Structure 1
């Protein structure tokens, strides 16, 4: 692994479909399921940053974006989700995971990196 890769974060996109039964629970029922869901995933709160978006098309109802230091953290959280309170109502139908590149100003070409490394050892 090169020195910048050690600083990169992993990003996961979880594409989800929500069943009509979820909305049939009503506000109170959704609140109860959501509280149980949040409680079960609380152990990941220090490991993951996540953003939940709503879709308005028939393809996906929700896309959750998670950021973590390792792929294992994303996998563990997704697995916990699939076993949790919302799993019977919300299905992860697709998932894409990638690595977040450093900001452009922090990236250097290999030749520059080798030169900087050589200068630092002199």
Structure 2
């Protein structure tokens, strides 16, 4: 399996976990569907677990270069947009989803998580040269 194919597969797992977390938050707020009145709040609350899920995925994927971090961030965010769009179409809430600022918080959380992981926890190999052990 190629590296980008693995990133796509992990991205769909991230999307599934974020959708499950979003559903749990939705149910905890007393809704079982995309209610327009609370959609922004549900999406905003979902951005915190979405960030953690994507952050942990970046940790397990050993994201240690800026290229990997950006590639994974873009792939995972694009998949999340597709996943939420499909769910919103099913619940007939496509327009309210993208009119809600909470959706952009959610997408931004997944977009930033691999980058935050990279800059917060990347290894500093100063003083060593490539090929020298």
Q: TM-score, normalised by structure 2?
A: 0.36
Q: TM-score, normalised by structure 1?
A: 0.39
Point out the structure with the larger strand share.
1
Q: Say which structure, 1 or 2, has more relative contact order (CA 8 Å, 6+ apart).
A: 1
Point out the structure with the larger helix share.
2
